Structure 1
Amino acid sequence: MILTSTLQRKTLFRRTTALLATGALTVLLTAFGNAPAQGAVPPPPSGWTTVFSDDFNGAAGAGVNTSNWMYNTGPGSNFGTGEIETMTSSTQNVHLDGNGNLDITAIGSGSNWTSGRIQTPSAVAGAPAGGKLEVTASLQQPTGGLGYWPAFWMLGQGQWPENGEIDIMEDVNARSQVAGTIHCGVSPGGPCNEGNGIGSGLQNCGGCQSGFHTYTMILDRTNTSNESITFYLDGNAYFTVTEGQVGTSTWQQAYDHNLTILFDLAMGGAFPNGVCGCTTPTGATTSGGTMTVQYVAAYTTNGGGGNPPPPGGGAITGIAGLCVDDRSASTANGNPIQIYTCNGTNAQQWTFVQAGTTLHVLGKCMDITSGGTANGTLVQLYDCNNTAAQVWIPQSNGSLYNPQSNKCLDDPASSTTPGTQLQIWDCNGGANQSWHLP
């Protein structure tokens, strides 16, 4: 994927500005060793389930497992951050080391650098209602001096920052520190203070360039009236943000759904420049600094209710008590989703899956045709694929909100004619956008 979209530029620009005002920091430069793996992905604790993991086993010099990862490639000049590297899919920049580790390496000098960025191709991890999500990685930060900017983070699909971002680990200039930050709401400003976000600022991380350390985020939805995100370094909590700080609707839109997982190693840009008060990288910056990742894993606990209601099969009813229906009970991709007289058939037995905020019927998902965002784009049945076109977030007024389009599920012109295909439209709180979930 070429990183030239407005969303991607906004996201990276935000990551720059979020940490500029952190004050003077102590530089720690240590000799970087290609350390061997120290263990496999930890098994889930009792009561938890592994939903995604990679231990980066494979032959030395091989690329990443493309079932788990996609390469985000393109010049840093497109990212809006001032960073100067070009992200590539070359194994010189992104490769397995043969010892069970992933290496992301920045190579270059002057203004000519290459590096790497990988992302899960779909939104693989979310906390179920009433449950928890833990996302963790064991990694060693790069040495090499001024200009290095490693990151381990998560990103919601669709609009940024509305659909959420969680930065689990960021550091800069090979300093022995770490920062955790969330992003949500609107930009600029809003409840998450965009484009800065709400963050810990840079915290001490002793030895983080000389050995592996664990960087963890837990999204806790067990307190359904005040969910939270907590950041951990080596199992020790150092920063927490709560739903109450940003408001329920903003929080639900940002975090009550699945997100993707990313690793990247940028070079130069406004953040490292701002911290050192100089232009990075410099002539003293060493080529070949590497972020080494031992493993990454995501675990969840089972949900136990919450608001909106827990998963369960049944009818979704709208205006005049009509039911949301898969036309003719067809499972063909692209089949219309319509309103119809309630009849109790399987074509009307919907399941709301909280972790992905998706609506399922007959083994497939409610989907916006071609991922459209315009008023009047029709809604269809399609293979579940974790894309933003299949995210439906229940609102307190009964509407089903799709963050990517910034629109709601809509019964056209408040029709009560069975067979009318549903669409998306600007959210207006009308009766034709009020839906009752099973």
Structure 2
Amino acid sequence: MRLRPRVRHLFTAAGLLGLLATGLAGTMNAEASVPPAPSGWTQVFADDFNGPAGSGVNTADWRYTTGTSYPGGPAGFGTGEIETMTSSTANVALDGSGNLKITPVRDGAGNWTSGRIETNRSDFQPPAGGKLRIESRLQMPNVTGAAAKGYWPAFWALGEPFRGNWWNWPGIGEIDIMENVQGLNNVWATLHCGTSPGGPCNETTGIGGQRACTPACQSGFHTYAVEWDRSTSPQQLRWYLDGVQFHTVNSDQVDATTWNNATDHGFFVILNVAMGGGFPGAFGGGPDGGTVSGVPMVVDYVSVWQSGGGSTPTPTPTPTPTTPPGNRDAYGPIQAESFNAQSGTATETCSEGGQDIGWLANGDWAQYKGVNFGSTPARQFLARVASGAGGGVSGLVEVRLDSRSNAPIGSFAVGDTGGWQNWRTVPANISAVTGTHDVYLTFTSGQPADFVNVNWFDFGH
């Protein structure tokens, strides 16, 4: 897993409407209730955690997962985390103001306890031809720096077949809606599937995206959501932070068997704060003697909605290809948002019309299948780019063919163009290309910050 803080947030009109419609703004108080179902959606589960201070969760809706593993399952819940989960109100309790607090606590001997709750229901999935949205408004543990070492809060969902088996991960599917480690200002969103290690879903990393919060994830409440869309072809999972989409996984990014094994069933929802384990280990480890005890994840609500259904999917606007794979003309503009697969990108309204892909930084990429170069070699690449990156931040826009691991056939450097919507067409020479190929745009930088947007690209002789 990689750390790449997001430092820029441009809200589209749709994103702002999402903020207003779902009550996501950081200025809202911590006692906000579950928002009403948006038009066309039906609420199928909700908990706003109202109740007396110091009381536990409603066990009609939730179950406590206790100990250091599922019965007979892998130790440390399979992640290497070191806390013991309990049902004690010292670890899991309502605060009397409409919130749930999940609090990791270290005792005098240095041992950690914390909390993990799961919905009793494990049947959350979209109706055929419909959509499902799982959402929570929460504040990550408000601790950063050395004091946060080992903290690993999460809001996520596991496939129903995991219950009672405990050894069939990741094939049964895991949807991480919000993960955070070490008090970093970053949210990770991931689909886990296939086999581990490696496999079609790159386990144990999974197919992931990430984004920073504004204001910081730890300093206030934010809304985290995933939509699972069966009304599109291919199916999609879309992740949102405060109403702004920042990560997408299409079903055709993996083989049909892998996708069906991961999604052809219901899911249950989980809230927990782990301590230590593999994910924090990738960013310095912990907890250690400098880690602060007793800082809770505060959850305002959890809600699940569904929409649509029926035997005939109803197409909705999505950032899926506008040209069928194999029919892309290398010599006409290829819209950047028409990718077939991507990692780390987000789409936004473009000042020149349509959409662009943005928030591009080191390690991000987008794939465009079936680009036809013909029999006369292409030797030039052009892209319409913009950048508002300051402070000397710059990077390379690279072109690769057929695999992201192949060497680039060409690239150009880009820095600040005067604004994230101040567009320039930049040319680059490439190695001679003929025939039909899958084209990858990859983005490389020595800094972790966003450095470029892309509107479109094409090739020339």
Compute the TM-score of the two structures, normalised by the length of structure 1.
0.60
The amino acid of 1:294's aligned partner reads D
Q: Separation in 2 of the partners of 1:55 and 1:81? A: 29
Q: For residues 21-420 of structure 1, what are the structure 2 equivalents within 5 Å? A: 21-22=2-3, 37-75=30-68, 78-108=76-106, 111-144=110-143, 145-158=148-161, 159-201=168-210, 203-204=212-213, 206-223=215-232, 225-276=233-284, 279-306=285-312
Contact kept? 1:139, 1:295, Cα under 8 Å: yes
Contact kept? 2:177, 2:239, Cα under 8 Å: yes
Contact kept? 1:226, 1:244, Cα under 8 Å: yes
Distance 1:293 1:170, change over 3 A: same
How many residues matched?
A: 277
Shift of 1:88: 0.4
Shift of 1:23: 6.3
Higher strand share: 2
The amino acid of 1:88's aligned partner reads T
Structure 1 equivalent of residue 365 of structure 2: none
Shift of 1:203: 4.0
The amino acid of 1:299's aligned partner reads W
Q: Separation in 2 of the partners of 1:236 and 1:138? A: 14
The amino acid of 1:152's aligned partner reads F
Q: Separation in 1 of the partners of 2:6 and 2:177? A: 20
Higher helix share: 1
Shift of 1:117: 0.3
- Identity within the alignment, %: 51
Q: Separation in 2 of the partners of 1:162 and 1:285? A: 34
The amino acid of 1:119's aligned partner reads E
Shift of 1:273: 2.5
Q: Separation in 1 of the partners of 2:155 and 2:66? A: 17
Shift of 1:302: 2.1
Contact kept? 2:31, 2:97, Cα under 8 Å: no
The amino acid of 2:235's aligned partner reads E
Return 5+ residue gaps in structure 2 as ranges.
Answer: 8-27, 70-74, 162-167, 314-461
The amino acid of 2:138's aligned partner reads L
Return 5+ residue gaps in structure 1 as ranges.
Answer: 1-18, 27-34, 308-438
Shift of 1:285: 1.4
Contact kept? 1:171, 1:202, Cα under 8 Å: no
The amino acid of 2:88's aligned partner reads S
> The residue matched to 1:79 in structure 2 has which SS?
helix
The RMSD of aligned alpha carbons is 2.2
Shift of 1:196: 1.8
Shift of 1:56: 0.4
String of CA shifts for 1:119-161, please: whole Å, max 9, x gaps: 0123141111111001000000003321110000000022322
Structure 1 equivalent of residue 348 of structure 2: none
Structure 2 equivalent of residue 365 of structure 1: none
